[in-house]
Structures are given as C-alpha cells and as structure tokens.
Amino acid sequence: MKIGITSDHAAHDLRVDLIPRLRELGHDVTDRGPASAARTNYAPWGARLAGEVAAGEFDLGIAICGSGLGISMACNKVKGIRAACVSEIYSARMARAHNNANILCFGARVVGPDVALALCQEFLTTQFEGGRHTERVAQLSQLEAGDTSFIEAAC
C-alpha cells in the first residue's frame, strides 16, 4: 500500500519523526513535504495530497497541521476525499472501518509522537467493513456531486 504524508510548518517535525517509524512498520511512505519548518499554509499541502490520493497515486494519505482541523478541511474540498481528523484510536479505526476514510488527519499540537504513530498504524491497518456502511459512504459521494435526493426520504 502506498501512503503519502504531508503537513504544514506546525507539524513538520512530527511528520519527519513519523516517516521512518512508519517505514519500520513496513509501510511504503512518500514524504510530500514541506522541506522545512518555515511558515507555510496548510491548504496547499492538504489539497495537493488529497488530489494525489483521489487520482490513485497513493492508496491512503496522512495530513497533519497544528490542530488537524484546517488541513482536514482543505483535504475534504477535493472530490473523492473522505479525510477524518482524529485524536484517539477508536476514531482512527472507525474512520476506515465505517466511513472508508482515505486520509487521516491529526494535530501535532494535540497528540504526541507515540499517539500519532498509533493513530497511523490503526488507520493504515484497518479495512473498510462494507455492508451497511456502503450505502452511507455512497450518500457522501451523492452529496459531493450535489445530489440531495436521499435527504427528504430519510428526514
């Protein structure tokens, strides 16, 4: 499985710390930058990675900023992306198992290196369960396409 990872300046050091640790666990990780901890905005980095995940260049992505919130919002603006901002293991697992999330986001100012690694490992090793969750994920794609026809029937 090919994994792309990116961050803004606030999460640069955590990203750099995670890459070799993820590789040691057997993950094929590509660092998508930035190259330094110099101030940079999260939106371009998140959107670029999301575009690469959506295009199939990576199977899954990891995007990190100070809180995890801004970069997840940027990722979620890209068609085909389901980025989940998490800070604990259960949500990392459910993001994949129930929501088929394809980008994991978290905050470098929220979780430390060991929790970050645990979140990544949980996310990267959990499979989408399908079943009853398939229709729910399909509805997210419908919303993304501007189709809200299922809302009236449900609500």
Sheet containing 103-107, strands listed edge to edge, beginning at the edge strand earlier in sequence? 28-31, 2-7, 60-65, 103-107, 83-85
105 is catalytic: no
Distances (CA, A) of 152 to 38, 60, 74, 148, 155: 48, 33, 29, 8, 5
- The DSSP bridge partners found for residue 83 are 103
Q: Respond yes or no: is residue 98 known to be catalytic.
A: yes
Cβ-contact 69, 106 below 8 angstroms: no
> Do residues 56 and 2 make contact, with C-beta atoms less than 8 angstroms apart?
no
What residues pair up with 63 in beta bridges, in sequence order?
A: 6, 105
Q: Which of 65, 85, 105, 120 is catalytic?
A: 65
Among 140, 119, 11, smallest CA distance to 70 is for 11
Active-site annotation, residues: 65, 98
